[in-house]
Structure 1
Amino acid sequence: MTKPNAENERQKRAYFAYLREAHGRDNATIDRVAASLARFEASTRARGFRRFHREQAVAFKAKLSEAINSRTGERLSKATLLSTLRDLRAFFLWLAQEPGYRSKIAFSDADYFNLSDKDVAIARASRKANPPTLEQMRRVLEAMPIATVWERRDRALVAFACLTSARAAALASFRLGHVNVSEGVVEQDARTVRTKFAKTFRTDFHRLVPGAAEIVANWCAELVRDHAWGPDDPLFPQSHMGLAADGGFTPIGLARKGWASSQPVRDAFKRAYAAADLPYKKPHLMRDMLVHSYMSMDLTPAQLKAVSQSLGHSDVLTTFTSYGQLPTHRQSELIRSIAERPAAGAADPWSDLEAAFARVRAGRE
C-alpha cells in the first residue's frame, strides 16, 4: 500500500473545506471527490501534487478507461469516467491558484483530464426509464404482508411513495407532522426533510394507485393511537432492536428516530416487489410512473404546472424532459396513430406554397 503524502493530504483537506464552506457542497459530494483524488494518487504512487504534469493526466485517463468495476466485473461506465475526471480537473484548477503552486501547475494542464466529445456524449446519454405501472403498484401493495408493525410500516412507505413520488432521502426523513391526511398534502420542509438542493415545497397526494391513500391514513392513525406518536416523531421509524431467546438481535418495536440513510427505503422496496413476484424497481421510478400516467391524460396547462410544482420543480419543462421520456413502444404507437388519422381534405402542399408567395407579392405591391 502506498504511503500517504503529507503535503498532498494538507492540500486535500484545504480543498474539501473550500468545497464545503465556499460552495456549500454536502458530505456525499466531498466523499466522491476524495475517492476521485485517491484513484489519481494510487496511479502516481502518491507523487506530490507540486510535480503534477499533463502527462500524468493523460496516463491516468488511459488507465481509468481500462479499470474494472469490482461489482459488475465490467469496465467503468463513461458516466463514472466523466465524474471522476471532472473532479480532478476542478481540483487542479483550484490548486493552480494556491500559493506555492502557481508557478508549478499550468491551468491548461488540468484540461488534459477532459474526455473526448464522443465519450462525453455517451456519458450524458439518457437511459430509457422502465417505471412500474399503476396496476403493478396496486398488486405490490396488495401482496405486501401486514402481520407485524414493521411490515405495516414498509407497506405504508411504498404507498406513500406512490402518493407523493418523494425521493428516497426525503422518504427516510419525513416526520408525522409533515403529513396532513385530511387535506391530502405533505410539507417537504428542507429544515427537517432531506430534499434535493434543500428546497422547501408542498406535495399533494397523487391518488393514482388504488388503496394507497387509505394505507397511509391507517398508518398515521396507528402511530398516534398505538404508539403515542407526535408531530415531531418519524413517519417511518427505525426498528427497535432487542435480544431474542437465542441471544441474537431481533426487532421488538419501533424506535423514535428515523433512518439515517435512504438504504432502508430501497431495502423495503426490494421486499415489496419480491412479495408480488415482480422485478425490483428503484423508488425514484415512482416519479417516472406518475409523470407517464399524467401524460396519458388530457390535462390543462394549469394542471400540468400543478403536477410540476408538486414534484418540486420550478419549470414544467424540467418535469417532462426529466421524467416524461416515452417508452419506445409508446413512441411507436403514437407515430402510427398519426398516420392512421383520417385526412381532413388532403391539400396540395405546392399549391398552398404558391398561394403564400402570391400573398407576399400582393403585399409588396
Structure 2
Amino acid sequence: MRKYNAENERLKLRYEQYLREAKGQDDKSIDKMRAALVKFEQSTKYKPFKSFRVDQARQFKDALSRAKTVRGKPLALTTIDATLRLVKGFFHWLAGQQGFKKVVTYSEVEYFNNNRNDARAAHAQRAVQYPSTKAAHHAFQAMSDGTEIERRNKAMFAFLVITGARIGAVSSLRLKHINLIDGYVFQDGREVRTKAGKTFTTWFFPMHPDYLACFTKWVIYLRDEKMFGPEDALFPQPERRLVNGKFVFDTVSGDIYANGSVVNKVFKEAFAQVQMHPYGAHSIRKTLVQEMNDRHLALAEQKAWSQNLGHENFATTVSSYLPVSDQQQGALIRALEVA
C-alpha cells in the first residue's frame, strides 16, 4: 500500500511553515499536526487533498471511532477530538489557498467537527490526584542521598516543591538562572523550556525548610566543589565513566537533558519507594495551589502566589488547579449562613 502522496507532502510542508512562522507554533505542536494528517490520509488511502469530499470527513470520523490503541483499547475521546481539530485546522487553511478555493469550501470543513456530546466529554475537567504536603515531605525524607546522582534527584524533588516549575523548565535550567541570595529562579523563555516560551520569575515558595536547605546545598556543591559555571545544568545528565572495564554513570556531566522525562521519573519513584501512589511531577502544582487555599491568604497574596506559578491570569489558577467538586459545592453552599 502506498505510504505517502508527494503532492500532499508538499502541501503539508507549506502548512508547517505557516504554523511555525505565522502562528509561532513549536516543533511539538507541528509533530502532532503531522500525525493527525497521516491518520486522515490513511483513512483515504492517501488520496490527494485536492480530491477532498465531504464523505472523507465522515469516513475519517468513523475510522477514528473504530481505531484502537497499541493496547487494543478504543481511542480516548480527548485524542479523537484533538485529531479532528488538527485536521480541520489544516483544511481550513487549505480552503484559502490558491487553487483550492473551489475545491474545499469553509462550510465543508465544518464536517470535521466532533459531535457535541463527545466534544463536551473530551473537554470535561477530571479530578487529578496530587500529593498532600505531608505525603510529599514523607517521600522526600525517604529519598537516598548517598551518591551524587541521588543527591541530584533529591534536590530536584525539593526544587519542584519550592517552585512548582514544569518538567521542561526543570530539565533545561542552568546555574545562572538561580539566585540563592534573594531566593528565586529566573525562568527565561529564551533559554528555558517554559510553557509557550514565557519568561517570569519564581520566588521560592515558603514550604518546609528541608526543601530549601537541600536545594541550596546542591547548588553550592555544584558551584564550589564541582566547579560548575553559570552555563552548566542545574540538574545535569550523568557522566559516563570507565571503572574496572565497565561503564558507570555515578557522576554528573554538566549537560542539560533533552526533555523533562527524567524529572517525572524521579518524582514518581520517590513516592513509589514508600508504597504511595506514583504522582506525576506536574501534580505538585496542584499541591501548591491547595496550600495557597489552605493558608487563607489575602487576595493580593493569592495573586502573587498565582504569578509565581507562571499564571498571568489568576482565574487560571483557580479554575484549573483549584476546582470545586459537586460535593464541595453542596457543602459550601449549605454551610453559608442565611443573611
Question: Which residue number corresponds to residue 313 of structure 2?
Answer: 315
Which stretch has the larger CA shift, 94-103 or 110-119?
94-103
- Could you tell me which runs of 5 or more consecutive residues in structure 2 were left unpaired when the two chains were aligned: none
- 8 A contact 2:130–2:287 mirrored in 1: yes
SS of 1:253's partner is strand
- 8 A contact 1:64–1:81 mirrored in 2: yes
Distance change >3 Å, CA 143–CA 332, structure 1 → 2: farther
Which whole-Å deviations, capped at 9, do the CAs of 1:29-55 have from their partners, x for residues lacking one?
000000000101111111111111110
Q: CA deviation at 1:88?
A: 0.6
Structure 1 residue identity aligned to 2:297: L
Structure 2 residue identity aligned to 1:312: G
Question: Which residue number corresponds to residue 304 of structure 1?
Answer: 302
Q: CA deviation at 1:259?
A: 0.6
> Where do residues 262-281 of structure 1 align in structure 2 (5 Å cutoff)?
262-281=260-279
Which whole-Å deviations, capped at 9, do the CAs of 1:35-91 have from their partners, x for residues lacking one?
0001011111111111111100001101101211214x3211111111100111111
Question: Which residue number corresponds to residue 283 of structure 1?
Answer: 281
> Where do residues 12-161 of structure 1 align in structure 2 (5 Å cutoff)?
12-71=12-71, 73-161=72-160
Question: Which residue number corresponds to residue 257 of structure 2?
Answer: 259
Which stretch has the larger CA shift, 163-172 or 101-110?
101-110
Distance change >3 Å, CA 95–CA 206, structure 1 → 2: same
- 8 A contact 1:156–1:215 mirrored in 2: yes
Structure 1 residue identity aligned to 2:303: K
- Could you tell me which runs of 5 or more consecutive residues in structure 1 were left unpaired when the two chains were aligned: 345-365
- How far apart are the structure 2 equivalents of 1:69 and 1:273? 28
Which whole-Å deviations, capped at 9, do the CAs of 1:250-304 have from their partners, x for residues lacking one?
2042112111111111111122112222111111111110111111222111101
Which whole-Å deviations, capped at 9, do the CAs of 1:306-364 have from their partners, x for residues lacking one?
1111111122111111111246665565456x16x6x78xxxxxxxxxxxxxxxxxxxx
Q: CA deviation at 1:137?
A: 0.7
What TM-score does the superposition give when structure 2 sets the normalisation length? 0.95
Question: Which residue number corresponds to residue 207 of structure 1?
Answer: 206
- How far apart are the structure 2 equivalents of 1:295 and 1:226? 40
Question: Which residue number corresponds to residue 292 of structure 1?
Answer: 290
Identity %: 38
- How far apart are the structure 2 equivalents of 1:89 and 1:309? 34
Distance change >3 Å, CA 245–CA 109, structure 1 → 2: farther
Distance change >3 Å, CA 172–CA 328, structure 1 → 2: farther
Structure 2 residue identity aligned to 1:306: A
Q: Between Structure 1 and Structure 2, whose CA radius of gyration is higher? A: 1
Question: Which residue number corresponds to residue 184 of structure 1?
Answer: 183
- 8 A contact 1:129–1:325 mirrored in 2: no
Aligned residues: 339
Q: CA deviation at 1:208?
A: 2.1
- How far apart are the structure 2 equivalents of 1:324 and 1:270? 22
Question: Which residue number corresponds to residue 216 of structure 1?
Answer: 215
Structure 2 residue identity aligned to 1:91: F
What TM-score does the superposition give when structure 1 sets the normalisation length? 0.88
Q: CA deviation at 1:142?
A: 0.6
SS of 1:218's partner is helix
SS of 1:101's partner is coil
- 8 A contact 2:285–2:321 mirrored in 1: yes
Measured on the aligned residues, the alpha-carbon RMSD in Å equals: 1.8
SS of 1:258's partner is coil
Distance change >3 Å, CA 198–CA 141, structure 1 → 2: same
